[in-house]
Structure 1
Amino acid sequence: MFVCICKQVTESQVQAAIRDGHESVESLGECLGVGTGCGSCVEYTRDYLNDDPARGDNLSHTST
């Protein structure tokens, strides 16, 4: 599933970046480009970081 449509960033890419130490939306933006287009993925990305899916947690909602 895409986290960021503008930059075509997937959940697995975000998970890998989190495992590599990117711990903020800003850091993920620099690394992957999330949040640097229209911005609609910023809230979802923040929720994703808070749920810490890199450890196997899952979000109960999807990005719109």
Structure 2
Amino acid sequence: MYVCLCKNVKCHEIRQCVHDGADNLREVSRCLGVATQCGKCAKDAKQIVKEAKQERQQLLEYLPA
């Protein structure tokens, strides 16, 4: 699903960016350009970043030390 139409950014790209180490919307914006033009996607993008960070944390908890 497209999140940012201005920059053609899809949900899975935001999730991948977070799984690759981005910790907030600002870092995802630097990586993908999301929420840098009209800003209408910022709220949804921020929610996806939050969810992806939770997913990342859950994955890290299950990995052996």
Common fold: TM-score over 0.5 = yes
Larger radius of gyration: 2
Aligned-pair distance for 1:47?
1.1
Q: Which has the higher helix share?
A: 2
Rounded to whole Å, the distance in 1 between the matches of 2:16 and 2:33 is 14
CA-to-partner distance for each residue in 1:12-34, whole Å, 9 max, x for gaps?
11111011011111101100000
> Could you state the TM-score of these two structures normalised by the residue count of structure 1?
0.76
The percent identity for this pair of structures is 29
> Could you state the TM-score of these two structures normalised by the residue count of structure 2?
0.75
What RMSD in Å do the two structures reach over aligned CA positions? 1.9
Q: Which runs of 5+ in 2 are unaligned?
A: 56-65
Aligned length: 56
Q: Which runs of 5+ in 1 are unaligned?
A: 56-64
Hey, what does 1:8 align to over in structure 2?
A: 8
